[in-house]
Amino acid sequence: MKKDEILKRLRQAGGYVSGQELCKQYGVSRTAVWKAIKQLEKDGYTIEAITNKGYRLIERDEETLSQVSIDSYMDTQWVGKNLVFRKETGSTNMDAKVIAEEGAPAGTLVVADMQTAGRGRRGRGWVSAAGLDIYMSLLLRPTCMPQQASSLTLVMALAVLEAVEELVPSGVGIKWPNDIVVNGKKLCGILTEMSAELDGIHYVVTGVGINTNRTELDEEIRAHATSLMIETMHPVNRAKLIARVMRYYEKDYALFAHSWDLTELLERYNAFLVNMDKEVRVLDPKGEYEGIARGINEKGELIVERESGERELVYAGEVSVRGIYGYI
């Protein structure tokens, strides 16, 4: 029997589960249950065993990230169900692209406890220490046209926001197109990469990095970045947060797939857009300009109203948007 099945059952119970009940549910002997419990304890889980009561999992927010811990929280139909966990890797996006080429199914999720070659937008490095943060990449095989797939970055941003909002009920927003911010500081970076031809997509990989349990940040990013630990003042269970993001993503992706655009997600996305109705500077290689952000359209483009009243549609690509007086 799989120890993650026992872990999920103990988690769902929230109290004691008798050994006999576990034997009956999984069709195994008491010895098999006992061995699974011991394996979980070896993995770092605290499980209380009392005669005539059974086993009880003692939850801890600082739970070690592992294949078993993530699986035990995953509550989706297809997103994240095929899980690849690596204690250390160069880049989860690179790993996801390799297994995509090998035929891995849509919904495959690659998670690492540590990255040594993480990348952000425009090739920027992403600091990826072990044991602290979330580094994950989701593989998709959408049947939309390549130009429509760029909006998947915004779909992921919304899913991350919805999961983070459960932990930080106020001050959470999205800085267009996909930065999750808490109280004005960046919490999460998202990078989407695609393999496609003019008339179809082979696969899309969306990578997510969330500052989770850092108590302090590097000096060069401290002014504009934060972590969940800093914002909530307590450790966050990374496995549980990963599973919640996947749950929200599955829901939001279904809405996106109805029309292969953001029509059904527009209202919620714009409600959390920190740039909304604010002065922004558009850093376009063809020429910078300023205006008022008026939200996004169904293609994920930012609508910027110039002083003349003319409205520009800003495509994420190589264009950046900054607040006139700061990061947002």
Neighbours of 180 (CB within 10 A): 26
CA distance linking residue 150 with residue 42, whole number of Å: 43
Q: The domain that contains 24 carries what CATH number? A: 1.10.10.10
Q: The domain that contains 216 carries what CATH number? A: 3.30.930.10
* Per-residue exposure over 222-243, b if at least 16 CB sit within 10 Å of its own CB, e if not: eeebbbbbbbeeebbbbbbbbb
Select from 58, 75, 105 the last residue of a domain: 58
Q: Distances from the Cα of 92 to the Cαs of 28, 83, 104, 179, 265, in angstroms?
A: 36, 12, 14, 19, 27
Q: Is residue 42 part of a domain?
A: yes
Q: Is residue 328 part of a domain?
A: no
For residue 177, cis peptide bond before it (omega within 30 degrees of 0): yes
- pLDDT of the chain, 328 residues: tens digit per residue: 578 888 888 888 888 999 999 999 988 999 999 999 998 888 878 899 999 899 999 876 566 799 988 998 999 999 999 999 999 999 999 999 999 999 999 999 999 999 987 655 445 555 567 789 999 999 999 999 999 999 999 999 999 999 999 999 899 999 999 999 999 999 999 999 999 998 899 999 999 999 999 998 888 888 899 999 999 999 999 999 999 999 999 999 999 999 999 999 999 999 999 999 999 999 888 889 999 999 999 999 999 999 999 999 998 766 778 776 677 7
Q: Are residues 147 and 221 in the same domain?
A: yes
CA distance linking residue 82 with residue 281, whole number of Å: 41
8 Å CB contact between 107 and 138: yes
Which residue segment(s) compose the domain that 317 sits in? 279-323
Q: Are residues 98 and 9 in the same domain?
A: no
- The candidate with the shortest Cα–Cα distance to 257, out of 108, 128, 122, 107, is 107
The structure's pTM equals: 0.86
